[in-house]
Structure 1
Amino acid sequence: MEATVYILRCADGSYYTGLTRQEIEARVWEHNNDPNPNSFTFKRRPVTVVFTETYDRLLDAIAREKQIKGWNRRKKETLIAMNYVGLPELSRRGHLVGKKE
């Protein structure tokens, strides 16, 4: 059962990370047309997809979504740019390397 982890860029410049088992286009349509005023994307429309990763196992996709949701904006933007080499240096522990407190 495939699952896709995705990042949306919202009209206000914020990012939303989610997971879907449906076609990504259908899920984005739902975000842009959701009548629920309490949803994160409701007041941030329109949203556009800026990143996707597809997994064969749902548990892997859930773990990845959780990981990305814990990242700061700069690290998400590095992922969106597909700069995988730059990701480790943006980890919280990576910021402490070589720094004295």
Structure 2
Amino acid sequence: MESTLTDVQQKLADFMSDISEEAYTAGWMSNLEYALWGAVLNGPVKYGRYFISQDDINTLIKLSNEFNCWIYFDHDTLETAIPITEWREKYNSYLIQNSG
């Protein structure tokens, strides 16, 4: 399936994918988008064999703010951009479903 991301959205997806590759040698590790957003909210953290640094977090914030979106993986549409407000709702739902 061909990507539905714009060129600018693809920059964010590529950066996220690069972190996944460094951490797990996987183009898009399962739940990558949630792990990275957790780092955005909570600060630097070890992720696999990679350490998500404050510089990484700053880049994620810059790109997501610049493009007003976050990228998540959907099994039908693959890497998919979602408006940041919708992403926050999706992330909060994920936390509720995976707590406990």
Whichever structure has more strand as a proportion of its residues is 1
- TM-score normalised by length of structure 2: 0.25
TM-score, scaled relative to structure 1: 0.25
* More helix, by proportion: 2
Higher Cα Rg: structure 1 or 2? 1
